Structure 1
């Protein structure tokens, strides 16, 4: 029986055009992500990691190649995708309770059932006490948790994450990594993370795709050992296999 992958990127390239010139951002790249898998994209700045996410989300068109989600070709922003950025993008004039409903409003999905689910998520992520507060009253870590609730309220099958915790202090980053992993496993969601933090990629992922070059391409796909996958992100960092694998990925990224 043929397997339907959650994400298929098939010989996809991207060239940005302007009036004066053209910039090749991405060489033809191909990879697949299985249902329920957590994959990280790592690599040097400018190698096309965020471009890959934007292409999968249907925010920009590919120059060549094809992207499929659950076997269906992406031609416009599809439903079933959650996209979380480094900036929380909360609206300062709306309370937390109203901020978490933004995605539902934009997609015309706001109703009694989805509102109840969003409020349930707020409680589940320990934010019920913030519902009547405004973003300016929250810490950076709490704001990102609200942004995560807003994303999960859409009940996505696939979660795209573009450096979502990079602006946070180390303690909050570790806390949100663990929270995210728990949410993904509980809901059996598929996730694709772009990060410059190799420790984060190694502590959270099932598999790591190492990108490089300008225009970018995928140099290597690396399976994370089972002992790291089973451990919580904080504990994974202390296991004997963690540091040698970190150094191996670092050397690959540093190659010209």
Structure 2
């Protein structure tokens, strides 16, 4: 039996300052199957972003273990791509140079990988921006470039930390559609952190609800197949969508 793509086993995470100790997670266990799209939701400060940093190997747990594909995470892995809320594009580099930045830094830049990055850019509707600079792009276009930069590394696991939260609703819905199209057929495992419950319901196979600080797993919500098989916009119109949203909202109010 193949191991989960992501697994947290009794993970706790403490932060220390001169004044105090903060417990972010205590303890937390869950798994994400290969190819699954899972969202983490919960109140601010419940440790959602900390979970992503642990999976990415940017932080180490205080106790417990984080695994990807059955291997303990001790450092960042090329199998994991991480996209943040801020696009972090370099203003002095063209779009062409921005989308290949990760490839250059990881020593994987070559003719083949560059062509793949340019293909992704075209797939997300931005082939015409290749020689433009970030200042010439809208917020939604910048986020698409950032997504291409992440996908160009061809990770097995994609971590998304509220990547669309700063966008207006029209751009957010458009990017959700593009994300689903980009992931379709690639078998990529995705872990999304979001405060937007509609976004979580429209995109996910499962939703993990975390309690307030320190973060613990309170509930797992399985999204019905009838919703999962629809694109994000149409999923919101399904008759089962609003009752699920209301139930999830009440769950978070009790956290």
Q: CA deviation at 1:125?
A: 1.2
Q: Following superposition of structure 1 onto structure 2, how do residues 104-115 of structure 1 map, counting pairs within 5 Å?
A: 104-115=103-114
Q: CA deviation at 1:134?
A: 0.4
Q: Following superposition of structure 1 onto structure 2, how do residues 180-219 of structure 1 map, counting pairs within 5 Å?
A: 180-219=179-218
Tell me the distance in 2 between the aligned counterparts of 1:165 and 1:214.
24
Give the match for residue 245 of structure 1. 244
Tell me the distance in 1 between the aligned counterparts of 2:174 and 2:187.
20
Q: CA deviation at 1:184?
A: 1.4
Kindly indicate whether the alpha-carbon contact (under 8 Å) linking 2:44 and 2:212 is maintained by their aligned counterparts in 1.
no
Answering whether residue 11 of structure 2 is matched by residue 12 of structure 1, we say yes
Answering whether residue 220 of structure 2 is matched by residue 236 of structure 1, we say no
Give the match for residue 138 of structure 1. 137
* Structure 1 stretches of at least 4 aligned residues deviating more than 2 Å after TM superposition: none
Deviations for 1:172-204, whole angstroms, at most 9, x for unmatched residues? Answer: 101110111111122111000000000000000
Tell me the distance in 2 between the aligned counterparts of 1:245 and 1:64.
34
Tell me the distance in 2 between the aligned counterparts of 1:66 and 1:176.
33
Q: CA deviation at 1:106?
A: 1.2
Q: CA deviation at 1:237?
A: 0.6
Q: CA RMSD of the aligned region, Å?
A: 0.8
Q: Following superposition of structure 1 onto structure 2, how do residues 16-27 of structure 1 map, counting pairs within 5 Å?
A: 16-27=15-26
Q: TM-score, normalised by structure 2?
A: 0.98
Give the match for residue 172 of structure 2. 173
Tell me the distance in 2 between the aligned counterparts of 1:59 and 1:122.
27
Tell me the distance in 2 between the aligned counterparts of 1:158 and 1:185.
14
Tell me the distance in 2 between the aligned counterparts of 1:28 and 1:183.
34
Tell me the distance in 1 between the aligned counterparts of 2:153 and 2:33.
21
Kindly indicate whether the alpha-carbon contact (under 8 Å) linking 2:80 and 2:157 is maintained by their aligned counterparts in 1.
yes
Give the match for residue 59 of structure 1. 58
Q: Secondary structure at the match of 2:60?
A: coil
Deviations for 1:139-181, whole angstroms, at most 9, x for unmatched residues? Answer: 1111000001000010000000000000111111011101111
Q: CA deviation at 1:3?
A: 2.9
Give the match for residue 95 of structure 1. 94
Q: Secondary structure at the match of 1:186?
A: coil
Deviations for 1:87-114, whole angstroms, at most 9, x for unmatched residues? Answer: 0000011000000011011111111111
